Amino acid sequence: MHEGGEETTVFRGGTILTLNPEALAAQAVAVRGRRILAVGTEQDVLACAAGATVRDLQGDVLVPGFIDAHHHLSLAVLYGSALDCRPSLAPDIATLLSRVQAAASDVLEPDAWIVAKGFDERQIREHRAPSAEELERASGGHPVMLMHYTYHVCVVSSRVLALLGIGRNTPDPPGGAIERNRRGQPTGLLVETAMASAESRAERELLLRDATFESRLARHEDALFAAGVTRVADPTVSPQLEELYERLRASGQIRIPIVMLPVGQRGYLRLPEDRLVGRVTGEGTADQRIGSIKLFADGADACAVAMSLGRAVRGFAGALRGAVMDRRIASLRALMRIRSRMEGLEVRTGIRFLTHDRVDPFARDAVERGYGIAIHAIGNEAFQDAVRLIEAVRSRHVDVPPPRIEHAFLVDKPWLRRAADSGIQLVCQPSFLTFSEGGESMIPDMTILPLRSALEAGLHVAGSSDFPVVDFQPLLGMDAAVTRRWADEPVIHEDEAITGDQALAMYTREAARACGCLDEAGTLEVGKAADLVRLSGDPRTVAGRAIRVVETWVGGQCLSPRPVVPSAHP
């Protein structure tokens, strides 16, 4: 024990990677209480920590705690109480509806909502979503909201359509679409901003009836610690969820540090005009602070892509040829799902969000009030829209954290340098390579997840997962960044592979930079939080899936891994 009664621990006897560019390796690290006391040679560190407990790493590797810079913690935990309708449990419409019917029979209040999650029309037998009428009959009249695995689409019952005032003459909202049948009637499928009211109502219903949020949060934290994750940025924190986080933090029921990216009360896909009051980016505590305000440039499956006519023809021909010759059925299905339109001499797909006159004034107002900007942009057209918007407000943008573009999945390479010149940081998900089959041939001259090109252009790139859409384990994400493949999927754009050193930096130092907490985490330096991960192998040279997380330390506390992993979408 030492001054103030705080325990001091020295780590030695293994490989210690600090991720500090000025001193990348060390022989020992000393931790006192919640902070790092010393980093350096074993002799110097022991001299600073006389009488400390010494932990022999026995040849293992010690690195800064992993940071997931885009992890929907609140959505994952909140929807943990929703009816599970993933394809593994509901492989066809009949089974899905029977699950809704069974859930409805257990609900006593006639107006209580049934909130379900996880449907994926690509994987169920009929390759379609259930209709509003089917959900209405199965639920016996209860309002039903079935969330798509992307959290960008939902299906609602007829009663919910009526409650939301959505009918034959309801126009599509900006940034969204209401699917209609041949008679022009809404089918119940709501896309992007069209689902905002249903999603925000479902959130309130889940919070109202949820008696197990705290226990599910604790289990999820255990799974994060087991994967070596010691901090997350939650990119969709509504006012209600922020209040819940604050209450749980005050009562000691949250252990993992969180950066909260604010979204609006009317739904996370809408412009968060109600959030330009109260605490701004960077405010809060070291363990729970406000991040950049969240905006959307496009959708998920409906991401905004623009191609010349010649480029589009080459892409569609290449996808069809690959699907037929290589029998890549998934590629053929992806080709059939694309809905394109001609605008001048360009072919465009998806939904753009940043085309409305009110977005630029909102962004200017936000940065002048002290908010950073984080923009969801998956398609190349959305990426360009996001860069232009940040360029327009960059001179007034706060420096910490930097302006962020989330995902950057499909990018025209010349725009990477332009993004770098504006000080933008990318927050990418290497695990998204699981969605890439056929993408190289479908979108010629456009790069899928251009990690190497982004780094060469001078961009800082953070790693993340977008959980619960895909698996959140950082070691697997590093694997994908280095190998350009996910699990047994084909290699995608092999020339965009990065080194193991760069992949490790994505999930530590660069994630901390993107979250505005590099002063607190991301490297092993004196004074920073004692967030550490002990690994059985060196992620710079050993495949991530061959490495085991031995210990995880958060704020100087050892939280031993437990084999509990919440399921991502299969």
Condensed to tens digits (0 to 9), the pLDDT of residues 271-300 reads: 999 999 989 999 999 999 999 999 999 988
- Do residues 74 and 241 lie in contact, with contact meaning Cβ atoms separated by under 8 Å? yes
Instruction: Please tell me whether residues 10 and 95 are part of one structural domain.
Output: no
The verdict on 34 and 80 lying in the same domain is: no
Q: What is the CATH number of the domain that holds 44?
A: 2.30.40.10
Alpha-carbon Rg for the chain, nearest whole angstrom, is: 24
- Over the stretch 171-224, which tens digit does the pLDDT of each residue have? 999 899 999 999 999 999 999 999 999 999 999 888 887 778 999 999 999 999
Quote the number of domains for the chain.
3
pTM for this prediction:
0.92
pLDDT-derived band at 324, boundaries 50, 70, 90: very low
Peptide bond into 468 cis (omega under 30): yes
Q: Which of 65, 73, 66 is nearest to 34 (CA)?
A: 65
Who wins on pLDDT, 340 or 95? 95
Query: What number of CA atoms fall less than 13 Å from residue 234's CA on the CB side?
Result: 26
Query: For position 494, what pLDDT does the model report?
Result: 92
Q: What is the mean pLDDT of residues 136-141?
A: 95
Cα–Cα distance measured from residue 360 to residue 352, given in angstroms and rounded to the nearest whole number:
14
More confident residue, 416 or 345: 416
Question: Residues 55, 89: one domain?
Answer: no
Angle at 521 between CA 216 and CA 376, to 5 degrees: 65
DSSP letters along 42-84, please?
Answer: HHHHHHHTTT-EEEE-TT-EEEEPEEESS--HHHHHHGGGSEE
Question: Please, which residues have CB within 8 angstroms of residue 331's CB and are 6 or more apart in sequence?
Answer: 319, 322, 323, 437, 438, 441, 442
Residues in Cβ contact with 500 at an 8 Å cutoff, skipping those fewer than 6 apart? 478, 482, 538, 539, 540, 541
- Check whether residue 38 and residue 129 sit in a common domain: no
Q: CA–CA separation, 157 vs 199, rounded Å? A: 13
> One-letter amino acid identity for 485?
R
* Cβ 465 vs Cβ 481: under 8 Å: no
Residue 211 — φ and ψ, nearest 5°?
-105, 0
**What is residue 146's DSSP assignment?**
E
**pLDDT at position 335 over 70:** no
Most confident of 89-103, 301-315, 444-458: 89-103
pLDDT value of residue 5: 63
Q: State whether 106 and 162 are in the same domain.
A: yes
3-state secondary structure of 373: strand
Q: What are the residues whose beta carbons fall under 8 Å from the beta carbon of 374, sequence distance 6 or more?
A: 235, 261, 291, 292, 293, 294, 295, 403, 404, 405, 406, 427
Average pLDDT rounded to a whole number, residues 299-322: 68
Q: How many residues does the chain have?
A: 570
Q: Per-residue pLDDT for 325 more than 50?
A: no
Q: What is the mean pLDDT of residues 410-422?
A: 95
Give the residue from 409, 402, 458 showing the smallest Cα distance to 435.
Answer: 409
Q: Are residues 101 and 148 in the same domain?
A: yes
Q: What is the pLDDT of residue 565?
A: 47
Domain termination site, one of 157, 183, 207: 207
Do 141 and 41 sit in the same domain of this protein? no
The range of the structural domain enclosing residue 20 comes to 3-59
Distance (Å, rounded) from C-alpha 221 to C-alpha 230?
Answer: 9
**Torsion angle of alpha carbons 450, 453, 459, 460, nearest 10°?**
60
Would you say 8 and 53 are in contact if contact means Cβ atoms under 8 Å apart? Answer: yes
What is the percent of the chain with per-residue pLDDT over 90, rounded to a whole number?
75
Residue 322 has pLDDT above 80, yes or no: no
Supply the pLDDT for residue 570: 53
As given in the structure block, the two tokens for residue 286 are: 């070291």
- Give the CA angle between residues 449, 451, 454 to the nearest 5°: 110
Mean pLDDT of 53-80: 96
- Residue 329: the pLDDT is 43
Q: What is the pLDDT of residue 564?
A: 46
Q: Is residue 286 part of a domain?
A: no
CB proximity list for 434: less than 8 A, separation 6 or greater: 470, 486, 487, 489
How far from chain centre, in Å, is Cα 314?
A: 32
- pLDDT at position 354 is 82
- Each residue's pLDDT tens digit, 435-470: 765 445 456 567 899 999 999 999 999 999 999 998
In a domain, 289, yes or no: no
Q: Do 54 and 112 lie in a common domain?
A: no
Say yes or no: 32 and 81 in one domain: no
Q: Are 406 and 70 in contact (CB under 8 A)?
A: yes
- Render pLDDT for 217-263 as a digit per residue (tens, 0 to 9): 999 999 999 999 999 999 999 999 999 999 999 999 999 999 999 99
Both 37 and 82 in one domain: the answer is no
Identity (one letter) of the amino acid at 129? A
On whether both 30 and 88 belong to a single domain, the answer is no
Same domain? For 116 and 170 the reply is yes
Asked if 426 and 475 count as a contact pair (C-beta separation under 8 A), the reply is no
Strand duo 425-428 + 460-463: pairing: parallel
